[in-house]
């Protein structure tokens, strides 16, 4: 698998790990170890979990936990008034948190790539308006924090 494919898989896995952490109260270490030991690159009940770029996966999960206050405040600012992040469904909240972490703290990843990747992650879970919401929130954040990069043609 290419580095791009492993990073895409890491994004999806990070969302799944954060979802699990929120439901079970598990910590970063427990969630990442469980994923790496039992899911990464394995086939379980007919589902194949693609291998991830391990360091990227760990950085996404740990980074969201470390920067969660900043992330949640920024997502709240980008959401429609009256719809704070805490009112958003758990999987969608995990997607927005990981994507926002990547946009704000992983400057090595172009903002257009981040937006596109997490819209795709949202499509893996939702068929309705949620991917559009992810796109709108991330576009708002990218225009605020990484406008110069968005303006430049990649």
pLDDT at 51: 72
- Which residue segments constitute the domains of the chain, with CATH numbers given? 3-146 (1.10.940.10)
Q: Which helix (H) or strand (E) holds 147?
A: helix 147-151
Please choose, from the candidates 140, 139, 96, 89, the residue with its C-alpha nearest in 3D space to the C-alpha of residue 118.
Answer: 96
Q: Given this model, what pLDDT does residue 102 score?
A: 97
Element (H, E) at 14: helix 3-24
Residue in the block written with tokens 């969608």 = 92
Q: Does the global pTM surpass 0.75?
A: yes
Segment-wise mean pLDDT, segments of 10 residues, the chain, 154 residues: 89 91 86 72 64 88 96 91 81 96 96 96 92 95 90 66
Cβ pair 131, 123 in contact under 8 A: yes
| CA–CA separation, 149 and 154 (whole Å) | 8
Question: How many whole angstroms separate alpha carbon 81 and alpha carbon 67?
Answer: 23
| Tokens read off for 102 | 């990547």
CA separation for the pair 9, 55 (Å, rounded)? 12
């Amino acid at each position: 698998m290419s580095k791009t494919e492993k990073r895409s898989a890491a994004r999806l896995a990070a969302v799944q790990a954060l979802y699990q952490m929120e439901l079970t109260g598990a910590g970063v270490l427990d969630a990442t170890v469980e994923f790496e030991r039992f899911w990464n690159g394995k086939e379980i009940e007919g589902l194949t979990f693609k291998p991830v770029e391990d360091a990227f996966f760990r950085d996404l999960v740990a980074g969201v936990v470390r920067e969660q206050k900043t992330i949640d405040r920024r997502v709240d600012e980008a959401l429609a008034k009256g719809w704070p992040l805490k009112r958003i469904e758990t999987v969608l909240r995990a997607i927005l948190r990981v994507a926002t972490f990547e946009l704000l703290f992983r400057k090595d990843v172009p903002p257009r790539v981040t937006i596109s990747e997490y819209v795709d992650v949202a499509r893996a879970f939702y068929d309705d308006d949620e991917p559009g919401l992810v796109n709108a929130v991330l576009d708002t954040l990218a225009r605020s924090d990484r406008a110069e990069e968005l303006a430049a043609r990649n």
